[in-house]
Amino acid sequence: QLAIEQLAIDTNKWPGPNNVGKTANQEVWNLNNSNAGLVSTNGQFPGWKGPYMKSVAQDPWGSNYFFDPDYRIGGTDYAVVGSFGPNKCCQNAYDSDDVILKLAAE
């Protein structure tokens, strides 16, 4: 969470890169990829001062954490970091075993 917050402060971008405060449909399924901007950059993060993390660990079930800039909860879109949980399912097919950390409402 702190790494994503610092990325946003430095670049005004969420992983993706997505503009902070804008709803977009540009998920990042592996936060170690350069398009996440946390470990390395793909050149699309002006003001990047990272790396913000040495690497992003996998969740307890051996899967990558994801970033979703428009995860809908109760009619509101949130920027979130998440895990697909023990069943490891699925991109854009969220279910009840997912673990979600809300970063900000959009």
> pLDDT tens-digit profile of 19-36?
888 767 789 999 999 999
56 and 32 Cβ atoms separated by less than 8 Å: yes
CATH number, domain containing residue 72? 3.30.700
- Using alpha carbons only, what angle is made at residue 96 by residues 26 and 5, rounded to the nearest 5 degrees? 40
Which pLDDT score, from 0 to 100, does residue 90 have?
Answer: 80
Domain limits for position 42: 2-105
Total domains in the chain come to 1
Amino acid 99: pLDDT: 94
- On average, the pLDDT of the chain sits at 91
Examine the pLDDT at 53 and tell me if it is beyond 90. Answer: yes
